[in-house]
Amino acid sequence: MTERITKSMAKNIYYGGGTFALLIFIALSFDTVHQIPKRSNQVNMTPSVVEGKRIWEQNDCVGCHTLIGEGAYYAPELMNVFQRRGGSDVTAFKAYMQGWMAAQPLSTPNRRKMPQFNLTPKQVDNLSDFLIWTSKVNANDWPPTIEG
């Protein structure tokens, strides 16, 4: 004995399923909006961090690097560069960044060349502050390895 789906039943399934999916979408959107302030590290955003972000964008760093998994995969992920190269020590990381940026481009064989952006020491410190700030964003343990 086969029961057929009537037009009325199909319409009820369509509207019921659509309404259910819409309610789930609204609930998940609401949850996401409320999670952002806790996860974004926004309270620690300083003018130096904002200026570092501007330098990041102005020099198209995302054209080669990724940050929180977004960007090009040509060069290393930089979300955890503060832990990797500075050992979570602000002074050591800023000194590292000053030396690294001044030394570009390196003439190491078989290594991709990072351009020389001719940034001032203040600009490098601002970029460092941006990378330090980024490292404190809760990104669900991204990147999965310390080397990005």
Domain containing 27 equals: 1-38
Q: Is 127 found in the same domain as 54?
A: yes
Q: Rounded to 5 degrees, what are φ and ψ at 88?
A: 65, 20
Domain identity same for 53 and 9:
no
Same domain, 122 and 84: yes
- Residue 43 and residue 41: Cα distance in Å, rounded? 6
DSSP per residue, 72-88: -SSS-B-TTHHHHHHTT
- pLDDT tens track for 4-42: 889 999 999 999 999 999 999 999 999 999 988 888 888
**One domain for residues 98 and 27:** no
Alpha-carbon distance values, 108 to 72, 105, 114 (Å): 22, 9, 11
Q: What is the pLDDT of residues 55-103, one digit of tens each?
A: 999 999 999 999 998 999 888 999 999 999 988 899 999 999 999 999 9
Residue whose token pair is 């309270």: 43
pLDDT at 39: 84
